[in-house]
């Protein structure tokens, strides 16, 4: 996993290959002191996030489906001027 990431593989691809959650993979990479790359959401991923959120999925559900951090999805939706629903518990 470490060598794959250092070789350019995306975290999403590695999660899929090794059956790990994004958090689990990031923890392993951090334990091995791997320098992380900034991987912003693509326009296609943002389009997908907008569609899912607009269909009523929660921010958490959208983030899980896209295998992105909730904060990244929130930021992307805000950039697109999507009106955010109130948080519920």
Residue spans per domain, the chain:
2-31, 43-79
- The rounded distance, in Å, linking the Cα atoms of 52 and 57 is 6
Cβ–Cβ under 8 Å, residues 82 and 50 = yes
pTM of the model: 0.61
Distance in angstroms (rounded) separating the CA atoms of residues 41 and 5: 17
Residues 28-81: tens digit of each pLDDT: 999 999 998 877 889 999 999 999 999 999 999 999 999 888 888 999 999 999
- Considering only CA atoms, which of 62, 39, 60, 42 is closest in space to residue 50? 62
d(CA 45, CA 67): 10
Counted residue by residue, the chain has a size of 89
pLDDT at 89: 63
The DSSP code for 58 is: -
């Amino acid at each position: 996993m470490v060598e794959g990431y250092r070789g350019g593989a995306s975290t999403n691809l590695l999660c899929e290959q090794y059956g790990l959650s994004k958090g689990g993979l990031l923890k392993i990479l951090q334990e091995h002191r791997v320098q992380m790359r900034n991987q912003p959401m693509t326009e296609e991923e943002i389009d997908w996030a907008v569609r899912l959120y607009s269909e009523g999925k929660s921010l958490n559900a959208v983030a899980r489906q896209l295998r992105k951090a909730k904060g990244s999805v929130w930021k992307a939706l805000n950039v697109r001027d999507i009106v955010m629903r109130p948080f519920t518990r």
